[in-house]
Structure 1
Amino acid sequence: MSQSETGDSEDTPHQVMLKEDLIRTEEITQDNISDHVYELFSSHTRRSANAQSLGFVNSGSDHVTFSHDASGTEIDLHQSTAILNSSAASTTGAVLWKVSPIFASWVLDCSTVPKNSAKKGKKSSYTYTPSTANLSCTPKLFGPGNTSSVLELGCGATGLLACVFAPLVKTYVATDQAHLLKLTKKNIETNLSHYQSQTIPSQSNKAKYRLECMELDWEDAEESWNKIKDNVFEGHYPDLVIACDTIYNEYLIDPFVETLKLVSGPETVIMVAQQLRLSDIFETFITALIEAGLRVFAVPEQLMGEDFAQGYSLHLVGNDGP
Structure 2
Amino acid sequence: MNARLQQLLASGEEVTDAEEEAFLLFSQDIPTANLGFIDSRATTVDVTIRGDEYAIHQSPTLLSSSRAGGTTGAVLWKITPLFADWISSPSNPLWTHFFLSSASVVAELGCGISALVALALAPSVNHYLATDQEYVRRLFRSNLDENASVNSASSSRAKGGKSRGKSAKQQPSSKNAASNITFTTLDWELDQPELLKGCIEDEPGRQTQRDEKEDKGFDLILSCDCIYNEALVAPFVRTCAELCRLRPAYTPSEEDEPRSTRQPTICIIAQQQRSPDVFEAWLRETLREFRVWRLSDDVLGDGLKGGSGYLVHLLLAREKS
- TM-score in terms of structure 1 length: 0.76
Note if contact 1:99-1:274 (Cα within 8 Å) is conserved in structure 2. Answer: yes
Secondary structure in 1 matching 2:199: helix
Aligned length: 269
> Do residues 37 (structure 1) and 22 (structure 2) align?
yes
Matched residue, 1:49: 32
* Offset at residue 303 of structure 1 (A): 2.4
Runs of 4+ that moved beyond 6 A: none
Pairing 1:76-155 to 2, within 5 Å after superposition: 76-89=55-68, 90-108=70-88, 110-111=89-90, 136=93, 140-142=98-100, 146-155=102-111
* Offset at residue 221 of structure 1 (A): 2.1
Matched residue, 1:24: 11
Matched residue, 1:219: 189
Read off the aligned partner of 2:7 and give its amino acid letter: E
Secondary structure in 2 matching 1:111: coil
Matched residue, 2:39: 58
Deviations 1:116-174 (A, max 9, x none): xxxxxxxxxxxxxxxxxxx657664556xx11110010110111111111111111001
Aligned partners of 2:60 and 2:45: how far apart in 1?
11
Secondary structure in 1 matching 2:277: helix
Aligned partners of 2:277 and 2:198: how far apart in 1?
35
Deviations 1:268-289 (A, max 9, x none): 0100000001111100100001
> Do residues 271 (structure 1) and 268 (structure 2) align?
yes
Secondary structure in 2 matching 1:308: coil
> Do residues 285 (structure 1) and 282 (structure 2) align?
yes
- TM-score in terms of structure 2 length: 0.76
Pairing 1:275-314 to 2, within 5 Å after superposition: 275-291=272-288, 293-309=289-305, 310-314=308-312
Match of 1:258 among 238, 250, 255: 238
| Distance change (3 Å), C-alpha of 1:107 and 1:16 | farther
Read off the aligned partner of 1:40 and give its amino acid letter: L
Match of 1:210 among 180, 184, 202: 180
Match of 1:228 among 199, 202, 211: 199
Note if contact 1:170-1:209 (Cα within 8 Å) is conserved in structure 2. Answer: no
* Offset at residue 35 of structure 1 (A): 1.6
Deviations 1:88-132 (A, max 9, x none): 121010001111111112234x415xxxxxxxxxxxxxxxxxxxx
Aligned partners of 2:174 and 2:225: how far apart in 1?
32
| Distance change (3 Å), C-alpha of 1:209 and 1:49 | same
| Distance change (3 Å), C-alpha of 1:204 and 1:276 | closer
Note if contact 1:175-1:214 (Cα within 8 Å) is conserved in structure 2. Answer: yes
Identity of aligned residues (%): 33
> Do residues 73 (structure 1) and 30 (structure 2) align?
no
Note if contact 1:172-1:211 (Cα within 8 Å) is conserved in structure 2. Answer: yes
Secondary structure in 2 matching 1:220: coil
Aligned partners of 1:271 and 1:101: how far apart in 2?
15
Deviations 1:193-214 (A, max 9, x none): 669xxxxxx9468679621111
Aligned partners of 1:141 and 1:170: how far apart in 2?
13
| Distance change (3 Å), C-alpha of 1:298 and 1:164 | same
| Distance change (3 Å), C-alpha of 1:297 and 1:226 | same
* Offset at residue 315 of structure 1 (A): 0.3
Aligned partners of 1:20 and 1:94: how far apart in 2?
38
Note if contact 1:84-1:95 (Cα within 8 Å) is conserved in structure 2. Answer: yes
Note if contact 2:144-2:178 (Cα within 8 Å) is conserved in structure 1. Answer: no
